[in-house]
Chains A and B, each alone.
Chain A
Amino acid sequence: MNHISPTLWQFLVKWMTSFPLFPPEASKIAPEMDALFFFMVLVSVIGMTIVVLLVTSFCLLYSKERHPVAVQVEGSTLLEATWTIIPLGLFLVMFVWGALVYFRVYTPPANSMNIYVVGKQWMWKAEHPGGQHEINSLHVPTGRAIQLTLISQDVFHSFSIPAFRVKREAIPGRYTTVWFEPTVPGTYHLFCTQYCGTNHSQMIGEVVVLTPDGYKKWLDESTSGASLAQNGERLFASLSCAACHNARPDARGPALANVYGAKLPLASGGTVTADEAYLRESILNPSQHVTQGYAPIMPTYQGQISEEGVIALVEYIKNLNSEYRIQQTLNTTDLLPESQSAAGAKSAEQGKVKQ
């Protein structure tokens, strides 16, 4: 040991003794999942020990030196039944326990706070309901159920937070959800775990868990001035959606207030619950989702709105509980380009002042 430089030695000791062996438990589901995990580890270790003990003792007892002539033994139905039924029983316990955990992870409670996440090559964009957005990071408070609604703009991605023990694929063309309740403030890994091309290994970020007060502070500091629904409203106006969806008696499109969550009769027969997925589909492939009493005249918005735009529109429609707002947005259509350029000029001025 005298030959190793002390610095190198210290480095090696530090290196070899301080690497993690188990991830932190930072969500409510984490200890539940770990309980199942360690149950399975226990069963595996016992099973493995039995096999190793049997093989070793048979090898010692019945080696050719000790036991030169083999005794032919036919099978035993009793033993076959034993090692069929016991593993099966254990596996079934794991199945049931696992299913309980699984259903919990993918069944968000009704009062959870929804954050939209869009995956694209190679970044994660999170959209908070208050209009805050962030890239490759996610700020969440402790003690609150958070639901993520995920979608991908291009290929499959997968949103993984090991410290929370949750993971969900972000899939092109459909929403998926997952929820968690953070318990311990701190900064945790966020990974994309579904291989998504060149920079897959750089599609990482951090999940910052804050205390409720800290989260409130963060929200105030990161506000973009308009909530997600307000962004949606602006988009609703600029796309002239209100030209048809205006709730007038002669309107060409159905009224949208309180439509979210309602059961709608379809022109093709049957009914559909107007959830996020339905709203998104009706914007992108309207002709396939026409409600009863309306002609299939709505143009597709496929390729014209980004997934973030669709999310803003969906959020706007979700929060729409009065036709009054729509009738107000009617008038903003013409004003929009002007107001945008005005806003641009204003921010440019602000930039000057700062310099």
Chain B
Amino acid sequence: MSATIVSLPDQSTARIPKVNFITKENGLLSWLLTGDHKRIAILYLISLSFFFFIGGALAGLIRLELLTPQADLMATDTYNKVFTMHGVIMIFFFLVPSVPATLGNFLIPLMIGAKDLALPKINLLSWYLYIAGGLLAIYTMATGGVDTGWTFTTPLSTHYVNTNVLTTGLAVFIAGFSSIFTGLNFLVTIHKMRCPGMTWFKLPLFVWAHYAASILMVLGTPVVAIAIVLVALERTIGIGVFDPTKGGDPILFQHLFWFYSHPAVYIMILPGMGVISETISTFSRKRVFGYTAVAFSSVAIAVFGFFVWAHHMFIMGISNYAVLVFSLLTMLVAVPSAIKIFNWTFTLYKGSITFETPMLYTFGFMGLFTIGGLTGVFLGTSGTDIHLTETYFIVAHFHFVMVGGMLMAFLAGIHFWWPKMTGRMYPEKISQLAAVITFIGFNFTFFPQFILGTLGMPRRYASYPPEFQVLNVFSTAGATILGVGYLLPVLYLTWSLKYGEIAGNNPWQATGLEWQTQSPPLTENFTVTPIMDHEAYDYDWLDKQKEKEVTTSVG
């Protein structure tokens, strides 16, 4: 593990460029009123981390409660509120915006050679909407919380609970618009702002993944907004859309909700997949194997992702034939994910591989996402879904994909682009340790939950039969390790802002346009509009560039 691709400038003479997007203007207002996509990305990064740690603390409370079979740490009502808020915060205020709003925002214009996103003011509005929604969610938690589960199932949410359903719904509704605007901005930018020579098949796969996710954001999110409005109307004035006593149908809510919330998991995972394509190429010094296959598999996931929502409802009394169709389509959406995994694996073939932190997280992602994906097939298969759905099996599956997959990818990306965002390197050894700790802690936490689910332990239980305790103790112990794994990066990344080594333009010797400009970049990103005269992931081109630099400096 000693070999590395990192090449840093001479630390005794190197300086962070005096003019960059961070130093350009000073003062809080210059940040709060900025139109710069990079500054907005930093705002998102700070606020996202805040929500992640609130959601994480709630997860800690859940695991503590489940240490013993009785509901003894908190009352069942409190427990119900805790897991509801954990779900709402983690999904709507962390996972959905995580990679797109931070890394996507920062990198898409840089990667396509543009000065900014197409609609900078809309971009800032997205952040304000996100913050408004997030603060409202925190406010509802502080003033009594909500206990519907993050799925807001009717008629429980419309007629039976007395908690803050309306304000939580409003929070999600507002955050939804943030997501729509971000998606829209990305779509317009990727279509209209590419630099000369940047054709669709020269785009980094990170951009392709965000393009696919943006389609989902723009088309899916309005539907959950509609569902929330209907819940609110039902709760306040009793319009009866979902109420069977008034001729409504509670299953309709399930259709509307999952029509968004299933594509939403692809909104969450696709950008993460984009990160993995970048890191795996850079750290094996090779063009991504099967570029077109990986690009189109992102689009295929986005398209098929819209037609599988009813697989959340196999046991809810939808017709058996609908189950057939949705089960079949679910199998089809599993294939592009398999394609991606194999293409990433073969990117390593005949590469020249190094094992820096982003690469370790990438391997973590590949292992955990493969397990998460394969267990998804257990749930998409209608027969076994009957036994496994609504148990800890589904909790484990979901966390393998979202935490094992998405969060690993997020951390891979944050470490990978940290030098670009801040101009400084993170400390390598301790961050490798953090990556390993996260991987071990994650498996300890969530693998036992597959067994619990197979045994039939239902999700969202504050108390459970005593024979399930051993596995729950394993899970809670693992969560403690996982907590350490997540705290470490916060500490050393903050430390590195002042004490990290100066990174230079391109510490990883990566090929993306974002690496060909200074770190941190100028507000305008590039001094001269770049021209894309080579393929994506063209390491030969990079070597030639370096030779040129050497000859010019020698000459």
Interface, chain A (partner B; CB < 8 A): 15-16, 19-23, 33, 36-37, 40, 43-44, 47-48, 51-52, 54-55, 58-59, 62-65, 67-76, 79-80, 83-84, 87-88, 91-92, 94-95, 97-103, 105-107, 121, 154-156, 158, 160, 162-163, 165-169, 171-174, 176, 189, 191-202, 204, 284-285, 288, 302-303
Contacts and interface: CB of A to CB of B under 8 A. Distances in A.
Contacts of A196: 156
A80 B293 contact: yes
A34 to B, nearest CB: 9
B241 interface: no
Contacts, number: 288
A51 B345 contact: yes
B456 to A, nearest CB: 3
A58 B153 contact: no
A74 to B, nearest CB: 7
Interface in B38-73: 71
B331 A76 contact: no
Interface string B198-242: 000000000000000000000000000000000000000000000
B433 interface: no
Contacts of A36: 381, 383-384
Given A201-B76, A302-B245, A64 B352 contact: yes
Given A36-B381, A160-B458, A88 B331 contact: yes
A76 B345 CA distance: 13
Interface string B156-180: 1001110000000000000000000
A44 B374 contact: yes
Contacts of A98: 327, 381-385
Between B4, B286, B377, B387, the greatest number of chain A beta carbons within 10 A of the residue's beta carbon is seen for B387
Contacts of B352: 62-64, 67-70
Interface in B95-143: none
A37 B377 CA distance: 11
Between A64, A74, A106, the greatest number of chain B beta carbons within 10 A of the residue's beta carbon is seen for A64
A64 B290 CA distance: 22
B353 A193 contact: no
Given A36-B383, A40-B378, 18 more contacts: A33-B384, A40-B381, A54-B345, A69-B285, A69-B352, A80-B343, A95-B381, A98-B383, A98-B385, A99-B323, A102-B320, A162-B391, A171-B250, A197-B147, A198-B147, A200-B76, A201-B463, A303-B245
- How would you classify the secondary structure of chain B's contact residues: helix, strand, loop or mixed? helix
Contacts of A43: 374
B140 to A, nearest CB: 18
A204 B461 CA distance: 11
B354 A64 contact: yes
The 8 A-B residue pairs with the shortest CB-CB distance in the complex, in nearest-first order: A162-B456, A173-B244, A101-B383, A98-B381, A75-B290, A193-B390, A98-B383, A102-B382
A323 to B, nearest CB: 32
A151 to B, nearest CB: 10
Given A100-B383, A154-B155, A58 B80 contact: no
A189 B370 contact: no
A75 B293 contact: yes
A198 B156 contact: no
A47 B374 contact: yes
Nearest to A37: B384
Interface in B347-368: 348-355, 363, 366-367
Interface of B: 2-5, 71, 76-77, 80, 147, 149, 151, 153, 155-156, 159-161, 244-245, 247, 249-251, 284-287, 289-293, 314-317, 320, 323-324, 327-328, 331-332, 334-335, 338-339, 341-343, 345-346, 348-355, 363, 366-367, 370-371, 374-375, 377-378, 380-387, 389-391, 451, 454-456, 458-465, 467-471, 539-540
A68 B5 CA distance: 10
15 contacts: A36-B383, A40-B378, A51-B341, A59-B355, A62-B284, A70-B286, A75-B291, A84-B335, A84-B339, A87-B338, A160-B456, A189-B456, A200-B461, A201-B76, A201-B464
A37 B287 CA distance: 38
A336 to B, nearest CB: 27
Given A59-B353, A72-B286, A197-B160, A165 B387 contact: yes
B460 A195 contact: yes
B250 A83 contact: no
B539 A72 contact: yes
A284 B247 CA distance: 11
Given A71-B350, A98-B381, A172 B155 contact: yes
A63 B382 CA distance: 43
Given A162-B456, A197-B161, A48 B371 contact: yes
A155 B254 CA distance: 13
A276 to B, nearest CB: 13
Given A87-B338, A88-B335, A99-B383, A48 B327 contact: no
Nearest to A63: B353
Contacts of A84: 335, 338-339
B454 to A, nearest CB: 7
A201 B462 contact: yes
A62 B375 CA distance: 30
A193 B384 contact: no
A195 B383 contact: no
B331 A95 contact: yes
A167 B386 contact: yes
A179 to B, nearest CB: 12
A97 B375 CA distance: 16
A192 B455 CA distance: 14
Between B320, B386, B454, the greatest number of chain A beta carbons within 10 A of the residue's beta carbon is seen for B386
A70 B331 contact: no
A92 B335 CA distance: 11
B381 A70 contact: no
B338 A198 contact: no
Nearest to B540: A72
A188 to B, nearest CB: 9
A84 B336 CA distance: 8
B289 A73 contact: yes
B339 A83 contact: yes
A67 B247 contact: no
B486 to A, nearest CB: 24
A310 to B, nearest CB: 13
A102 B244 contact: no
A277 to B, nearest CB: 10
A79 B346 CA distance: 10
Nearest to A59: B353
A102 B389 contact: no
A189 to B, nearest CB: 6
A169 B351 CA distance: 51
B156 A197 contact: yes
Nearest to B250: A172
A97 B467 contact: no
A33 to B, nearest CB: 6
Given A71-B350, A91-B335, A171-B251, A198 B390 contact: no
A102 B247 CA distance: 29
Given A84-B335, A199-B76, A47 B390 contact: no
Contacts of A47: 370, 374
Given A58-B351, A62-B351, A22 B250 contact: no
Contact of B463 (A44, A173, A202): A202
A160 to B, nearest CB: 7
A172 B250 CA distance: 8
Contacts of A193: 389-391, 458-459
A88 B155 CA distance: 38
A40 B377 contact: yes
